[in-house]
Structures are given as structure tokens and as C-alpha cells.
Chains A and B, each alone.
Chain A
Amino acid sequence: MTSINLILINWNYIVVILLMMAGLYIIISNQNFIKKLVGLSIFQSSVFIFYISLGKVSGGTAPILTGNDETLYSNPLPHVLILTAIVVGVATNALGLALVVRIQEAFHSIEENKLLALKKFSEQEDRQL
């Protein structure tokens, strides 16, 4: 039963690892640029969960002063950090999506394999110049 206990205690962290691997796999395996960004989002979210789990103190409450010295508080700092990281993640995604729109306009495709073929072609053009 100890192994089940171990899984239950570390449940958050197991989810973090699964999400992280899933996110990375999506980024690596997908050809579609939007799907890559989705993978990136999942990857970043796993880190958010990691930080939030770190800040939780078992039995602790929200860090609002109660006036009682014996109250156990959760650590608010990782949560605040993640608030910043979420903003950064949103900005990254917004810029990524904006770039995908521009890529679609310029190349009429957002599939990596098609673009790579196009890119090779234009590199040959460069050489002939």
C-alpha cells in the first residue's frame, strides 16, 4: 500500500510531469504551428502547477492575517511568481499567434513540412542570384 500512498501524496507532481512530457511531445511531433503553440501552453501550464503545489502547506490556509499566532499559512510567494509567469506565458502566446497569422499571409501555409520545402526552394533561388 505504500506505493499507492506515494502516488497519492505526490499526485500533483505526477500530473506536472505528465503534462510537461505531453506538452513537449506536442511541440516536437506536430507540424502545425498553432498546435505547437498549444503544446507550449500545456508545457508552461505544467510549470505553473508545479509552483502552486510547492507553495501549499498541508493544513495551511490562505495567507490572510487572522490575528491568531497559531494559524498555519500556505506560502503565497510561489503563487505570486506564477501570476507573473502566467502573464509572460500569455504574452508569448499572443506574439506566437500573431506570427502565425503573418506566416499564413506570407506563405499561405502553417504546416512546417510544407514550409521547409518552400524554404529549401528559396535558398536555391538565393544561390542562383
Chain B
Amino acid sequence: MRPVEPAALSVEGLSHAYGERSALKDVTFAIAPASFTVLLGLNGAGKSTLFSLVTRLFGTQHGTIRIFGHDVARFPGAALRLLGIVFQPRTLDLDLSVKQNLLYHAALHGIAPGDARRRAEQALARIALSERAGDKVRDLSGGQMRRIEIARALLHRPRLLLLDEPTVGLDITARAEILAHVRQLVAEERVCVLWATHLIDEVAPSDDVIVLHQGRLLAHDAAPSVVADAKAPDLRSAFTALIAGGSQSEASEAA
């Protein structure tokens, strides 16, 4: 019998606090390989904390995180090599060229220089930025930088890609381009994507949606089911209703 493939990302009973302030409360979910999941939440919902824990910037205080079955706390190397991440703030080195940024990332993953150069060229060709390879990152537009960050996150061929509010600060055209590009990656390369955002219009009907509010997971289902469960006309109303409900239960708990 073939073993069942483990979830691309599974989170169990995850709680995290900064001193007194609780950022995540008993969050549990699992997302399937080659799926596109939108992590919806307002600012301060705990999205970035969740990403910092998955990438092991912080150690987990309570709960477990597994990437394709590898426990992040116990086997960080095995887990992190399957993971690509695009952080919300820009993390490219502005003074280095596009290509130097990509080669540096490849080296951090132990990819040999020859192979790294090949992968960097392919990656740039794919996002139609080959001619900018020698330019300093500083001279690029916000949308171009984002595309390069995504290309960089994919250089070591991860199977799970996390993006933390990747369209923040981009204009409408660039936003649509980035979103289409990432959806294409899911369809063609079977990369699993977890896309954190507070912009509801970035959700497509075929996506899975996780709603996070004040550190709690309020819903996790296919987008149409989330709408149906909330008996709402559309996702925006469903999200508003969920959040109102979440805040209420918070208030009644406190009382």
C-alpha cells in the first residue's frame, strides 16, 4: 500500500504569546499539497507570527508545526529545505544586483555555483526580467522586486511557498500579475501556496480559505463553503460576520 502523502503544512494546537500578549491561540489546520490556500485576517490577526513560527525565526512555545511531515522544531533542516518564503517587508539586498541576490540565496541552500547560475537564469527568464539581471535591485519597481522575491523563494525548488501580504504597496496591475503568476505555479509546478492577506478580493472561488482573527482560527474550508456556512451572500459579508462572531465570543469569554 502506498503511504498517504503528509499534508504540505500541518499545524496542531499552536499557541504563541509575546510576554503577556497572546498572538496565536490553539490554532490547528492542515493544507494539502499543490493547493492554493488564502490566510485571511486583519492586521494583528497573527498571520506574521504564524509565518515566523513556521520558518523557525521563533521557536514554538506550544504545539507542533510539520512541513510534509517534518517537525520544524525537531528537524528544522529537513523542514526548511522544503519551504520557500516571501516576507512582507522587502528582504532583497538593495545594493546588490538582481543576479547577486539570487546567487546568494542559492548559496544559503548549498546549491553549487554552476547550478545556481542556471537556475537564476531560468527563474529570471520565467518572470521576464532576464535583461535586468545585472541591475541593482534599488533601481527596480515594487512589482519587479516582488516577482524577484518569489523567484528567489523558488530557487531551491521548495514544495511549500508562504507569502506574507505579497501585494502590499503594489498597484492594481502588479497585484494581478503577481497573483496570476503564483496561481500558475500551483497549477503547473504543483507547489503548495499559503497566501496571507487582508484583501478579500484576492480570493478566487476555487481557493481554500483560512480565517484568522485575534489569534484564533475561525474558519477553514473551500471559499464557497465558508460563504455558505456563514449564510452570507458573498465572502466579504461572511468574513465580516465571522469576525464579528469571533470578537463576540472573545468578549463573552472575558466577561
Q: Do A and B come from one complex?
A: no
Chain B positions within 8 Å of A, measured between CB atoms, are none
